[in-house]
């Protein structure tokens, strides 16, 4: 279970804190979903998830305006008693002094956004899905090659960092070296980032640590990248059969998501950077609907049928 501090939400969404006297340093958000408490304002609290951010839109605000003062205060008191993380008023709506006093009494921050309700909810849910996503850390190198996120894995010392350095010199961008933090933001999307302590650094055996951003410029690095393709480097094994056509995709799995994976045997003289580039371009071509292996298979099949 991961959490996000309320202050991070305020800073990211540019929210106005209408109750600055409340200490928000220990308030954490743990749910990616938000709630518009329309049914709660009507008095229905069954299945109410008090861990969600509560959002007051134009409909809820208008309904509250039409409620009798004592009844409205009583309903809001029930919401505050549930110890929700915060309540956000959208559209920069005016907030009555009585609501602010009640919020201070229960220690529930009242925030305000200039955005419309729908756009605020969409943005905050998207952001929370990334920040609170399940995650793991693996040993590898992540690079952006022609816009495709290529995760290079393999045993320590096999040449992952050297391949990444050559790719950087060829105009591609480094995301992270040695440790890749993978987040599952949806059932189809994995994103990779670097730990703060090692961001933009590469370790080269015999040389040491180099700062890619300083040596090659800001255009050579990137902070976050989706993981589209995995290149697994392994020692050449004479007795092992390697795929030479690529008619069938092989996959590896991270956090329940499958990612296309190619096993590349390492031998002296092989240019890993060019191989990774070719794999990335071929993967992009397949996404666009063209499969070179399938095209070759069709040509051979048609030629045999003519005979």
Q: Report residue 150 CA to chain centroid gap.
A: 16
Instruction: Name the 3-class secondary structure at 148.
Output: strand
49 has catalytic annotation: no
Tell whether residue 155 is among the known ligand binding residues: yes
160 has catalytic annotation: yes
Residue of 12, 36, 78, 178 marked active site: 178
Residue of 105, 139, 170, 258 marked active site: 139
CA distance 175 to 61: 45
Tell whether residue 157 is among the known ligand binding residues: yes
23 has catalytic annotation: no
139 has catalytic annotation: yes
Nearest of 120, 132, 158 to residue 272 by alpha carbon? 158
Which DSSP string corresponds to 42-93?
TT--TT--TTSEEEE-HHHHHHHHHS-HHHHHHHHHHHHHTT-S-EEE-TT-
CA distance 141 to 164: 7
Tell whether residue 154 is among the known ligand binding residues: yes
Tell whether residue 160 is among the known ligand binding residues: yes
Give per-residue burial for 170-202: e unless 16+ CB within 10 Å, then b.
eebbbbbbbbbbbbbbeeeebbbbbeeeebbbb
Supply the angle between the helices 117-131 and 6-13 in degrees, to the nearest 10: 130
Tell whether residue 159 is among the known ligand binding residues: yes
Residue of 244, 267, 306, 307 marked active site: 244
Nearest of 80, 84, 89 to residue 55 by alpha carbon? 89
Can you say which residues are annotated as belonging to the binding site? 154-161, 203
Can you say which residues are annotated as belonging to the binding site for ATP? 154-161
Q: Which residues are catalytic?
A: 139, 160, 178, 244
Can you say which residues are annotated as belonging to the binding site for Mg(2+)? 161, 203
């Amino acid at each position: 279970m991961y959490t996000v501090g309320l202050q991070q939400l305020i800073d990211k969404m540019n929210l106005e804190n209408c109750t600055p006297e409340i200490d928000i340093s220990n308030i954490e958000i743990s749910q990616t979903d938000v709630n518009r408490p329309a049914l709660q304002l009507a008095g229905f609290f069954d299945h109410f998830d008090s861990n969600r951010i509560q959002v007051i839109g134009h409909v809820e605000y208008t309904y509250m305006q039409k409620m009798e003062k004592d009844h409205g205060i009583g309903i809001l008191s029930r919401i505050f008693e549930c110890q929700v993380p915060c309540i956000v008023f959208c559209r920069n709506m005016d907030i009555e002094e009585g609501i602010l006093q009640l919020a201070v009494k229960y220690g529930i921050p009242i925030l305000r956004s200039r955005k419309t309700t729908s756009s605020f909810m969409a943005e905050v849910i998207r952001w929370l899905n990334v920040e609170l996503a399940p995650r793991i850390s693996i040993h590898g190198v992540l690079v952006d090659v022609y816009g495709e996120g290529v995760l290079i894995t393999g045993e320590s010392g096999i040449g992952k960092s050297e391949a990444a350095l050559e790719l950087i010199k060829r105009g591609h961008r480094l995301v992270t070296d040695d440790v890749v933090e993978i987040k599952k933001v949806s059932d189809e999307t994995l994103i990779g980032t670097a730990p703060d302590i090692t961001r933009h650094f590469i370790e080269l055996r015999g040389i040491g640590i180099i700062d890619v951003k300083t040596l090659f410029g800001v255009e050579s690095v990137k902070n976050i990248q989706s993981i589209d393709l995995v290149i697994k480097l392994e020692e050449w094994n004479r007795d092992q059969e390697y795929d030479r056509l690529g008619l069938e995709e092989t996959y590896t799995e991270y956090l329940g998501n499958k990612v296309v994976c190619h096993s590349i045997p390492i031998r002296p003289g092989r240019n890993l950077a060019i191989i990774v580039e070719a794999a990335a371009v071929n993967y992009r071509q397949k996404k666009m609907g063209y499969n070179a292996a399938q095209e070759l298979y069709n040509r051979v099949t048609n030629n045999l049928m003519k005979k």
